[in-house]
Amino acid sequence: MLTRIDHIGIACFDLDKTVEFYRATYGFEVFHSEVNEEQGVREAMLKINETSDGGASYLQLLEPTREDSAVGKWLAKNGEGVHHIAFGTADVDADSEAIRDKGVRVLYEQPRRGSMDSRITFLHPKDCHGVLTELVTAATPGEADH
């Protein structure tokens, strides 16, 4: 069951400048940053609030590490903006299988590694009214912030 808005994924050309925009404009601070070579992104997670399921909601700022990554190609086509949205669940395996059974294309055969050692998958945007949609299970349920 999807129980929270886990994050909003925002593609940007320059991660450092974008992080600075969010800090200077709103006071949002970087909670976590990492490079995900499989996804081809350098990213910063800005924690905005905690959620009623014991998790949290973040902005995820994404800069491609290579032009041929999914985010790199998306940026070249669309420019900066919201790349995807993500819902949190305690069981990404069960939820992605149940959603696949409903005829929505799930992009990975098995969930892969996401931010902060989470497990993630994506749903095809053409099956989701234009919205690239991610499902996330945090590394440690109820300890999403540590």
Active site residue 110: no
Cβ burial of 73 (10 Å; 0-12, 13-18, 19+) is middle
Range in contact with a copy of itself (rule: CB under 8 A) among 24-32, 64-72, 109-117, 136-144: 24-32
Q: What is the distance between the alpha carbons of residues 127 and 48, in angstroms, rounded to a whole number?
A: 29
| DSSP secondary structure string for all residues of 66-92 | STTSHHHHHHHHH-SEEEEEEEEES-H
39 closest CA partner among 2, 86, 1? 86
Q: Does 92 bind a copy of itself (CB under 8 A)?
A: no
> Who's near 14: CB < 8 A, 6+ residues apart?
63
Catalytic residue among 20, 37, 60, 129: 60
User: Is 63:12 a contact under the CB 8 Å cutoff?
Assistant: yes
User: Which residue, 113 or 126, is less far from a copy of itself as judged by CB?
Assistant: 126
Q: Does 77 bind a copy of itself (CB under 8 A)?
A: no
Q: What is the nearest approach in angstroms of a copy of itself to the Cβ of residue 145?
A: 11
Look at the block and give the residue holding tokens 């969010």: 22
Range in contact with a copy of itself (rule: CB under 8 A) among 20-28, 33-41, 109-117, 136-144: 20-28
Candidate residues 38, 49, 77, 109; the one interacting with a copy of itself per rule CB under 8 A: 49
- The identity of residue 47, as a single letter, is K
Residues designated catalytic: 7, 43, 60, 84, 134
- Residues of the shown chain interacting with a copy of itself in the complex, contacts defined by CB under 8 A: 1-5, 8, 10, 12, 18, 21, 24-28, 48-53, 57, 59, 79-82, 85, 87, 99, 102, 104, 125, 128-131
